[in-house]
Structure 1
Amino acid sequence: MKLNLDPALLEIVPTFKLGLNHYTKITVSESPQMLKGRLQLFQEHLFFDLDDKAVTDFPGIKEWREVWKSFGANPSRHRHSTEALMRRIAKQNYLSSFHSAVDLNNFFSLQYEIPVGIYDADKINGNVTLSVGTKDSGYDGLNGRFNSLENILILSDDEGPFGSPYVDSARTAVTEDTTKALHVFFLRPSMKSTESLELTTAAGKMFTEISSGDAQAYVLHENQPSITIEE
């Protein structure tokens, strides 16, 4: 499987970076109590932080709103996933535990203040490209409705779009039957490449500590816009 950044992205945001973890031999199940407790505690701390601080004042949220605008999307109309999560928490509408993969995905997103997506690699067909959606781009999302993705970043395979920093598709959702997954970190462009790889690698290590299996970490950027994963 080859993963690519559309060259047009780098023309608009030359410092754009995408972190990738490819997991094999993982076990997705009910989250251990440690993870459930950590996710709950983190949300409670965020709730009190948000009492004195606007969601848009968080550095990662603020930076990703600017990225959103750069590609032509309206960050107030179509909020990226992390901002949407934080706004839920500000209303004390905490995330409930789902399963280990989704819980870790949400934890990383809130911790790093960036959109993060996880996809069942066996449901991805062919190569993957990150590009900007057109008026014809869209899919049935995990939010239970069809989502139009014009001017929003999209991950696409041979079948079409399946993921974005906005909302992910139902087609490639991770379940408790998943054994191989692609974990995508929509990194802050201001991060250096070395820092980006450290973050991605650390997240992969935590993921496999809970879900077992193996992880390979990569970062796509201006000097390495594509990589090939041997499956």
Structure 2
Amino acid sequence: MSDLSGSDSSGLQAFLADASVDEAVFELRPDYRALLLAVDGITPGPSDESSEQLLQAAESAARYATASTPVDQLPHIAAWRDAYRAFGAKPQRTRNSVEALTRRAVGPGLPRVNRLTDLYNAISMLHQLPLGGEDLSRYQGPPKLVRATGQESFDTATEGEPVIEHPLPGEVVWCDNAGVTCRRWNWRQARRTQLTDETTSALFILDVLDPMTDEQLTIAADELVDHLKQLGPEVAVVRRLLANPRD
């Protein structure tokens, strides 16, 4: 379990200091960047009027974006479909998170889960980038993005029953010292680190490929932080950008 002690955010800074993206991932997509936000001091709670308004705005944005362009041809979604093909995944079968959310937004609507999950889903839609949120207190060691060996464990559920799966060799996965926390870059998160109605500290991962610019990424992150700071009187946020060292 991660140590988040320290009112000066030193625990959050220490956690992010050891986060990493393996060189093999950058070889696959040299344009990849990950912005990590470590957050503590959240007052947990169920979906509320504020999160509902955000979700409705996100659904409207998704409908507007797809009014004249098919979902799979939206620039940022198309980039992620190419990235999935690069490591052997079939994007029509395992959709990246922003594509899956967009299809839900223009169809049955985005899920209403809790105000923390609702918030990051809405920001993901409003800015068209994959955005994952996980319970930081459940991490065992730092977050690492690697290409899997196939031996790593992934805690998930099938038909409501808990099961342990394993990623395919070469698959891009986020993991910690205990196993995979998210498969296929941003496709499916593990049950172990999922956000709950009791989450008070969280890790948010903003996955970025061209054509999204660093300026657009900063705008999305700033909006997320602004909303997070409304979730408690003492919310602390530390961020770190992981990018290709050769750029």
Q: TM tier, shorter chain?
A: 0.7 to 0.9
Q: Deviations over 1:153-201 (max 9, x none)?
A: 2111110101240011110011122221111111124444455344323
| Total equivalences in the alignment | 224
What is the SS of the residue equivalent to 1:141? strand
Which residue of structure 2 aligns with residue 214 of structure 1? 236
Does structure 1 residue 58 correspond to structure 2 residue 74? yes
CA contact (8 A) 1:125 1:157 kept: yes
**CA distance in 2 between partners of 1:107 and 1:186 (Å):** 15
**TM-score scaled to structure 2, two decimals?**
0.80
Give the stretch that moved more between structures: 193-202 or 163-172.
193-202
Matches within 5 A, 1:2-41: 2-41=18-57
What is the SS of the residue equivalent to 2:174? strand
Does structure 1 residue 116 correspond to structure 2 residue 147? no
CA contact (8 A) 2:54 2:119 kept: no
**CA distance in 1 between partners of 2:246 and 2:157 (Å):** 31
Q: Matched residues, percent identical? A: 23
Structure 1 unaligned segments of length 5 or more: list them: 226-231
Alpha-carbon spacing, 1:196–1:50, altered in 2? closer, same or farther (3 Å): closer
CA contact (8 A) 1:20 1:185 kept: yes
What is the SS of the residue equivalent to 2:230? helix
CA contact (8 A) 2:134 2:203 kept: yes
Which residue of structure 2 aligns with residue 204 of structure 1? 225
Does structure 1 residue 43 correspond to structure 2 residue 59? yes
**Structure 2 residue corresponding to 1:149, chosen from 152, 156, 167:** 167
- State the one-letter code of the partner of 2:148: G
Structure 2 unaligned segments of length 5 or more: list them: 1-14
Which residue of structure 2 aligns with residue 173 of structure 1? 194
Q: Which one has more relative contact order, counting CA pairs under 8 Å at least 6 apart?
A: 1
**CA distance in 1 between partners of 2:210 and 2:29 (Å):** 8
**Structure 1 residue corresponding to 2:182, chosen from 152, 163, 166:** 163
Give the stretch that moved more between structures: 31-40 or 162-171.
31-40
CA contact (8 A) 2:120 2:131 kept: yes
**CA distance in 1 between partners of 2:203 and 2:210 (Å):** 21
**CA distance in 1 between partners of 2:181 and 2:239 (Å):** 21
Q: Deviations over 1:124-180 (max 9, x none)?
A: 001221012343445233775756532442111110101240011110011122221
- State the one-letter code of the partner of 1:118: G
CA contact (8 A) 1:129 1:156 kept: yes
CA contact (8 A) 2:44 2:199 kept: yes
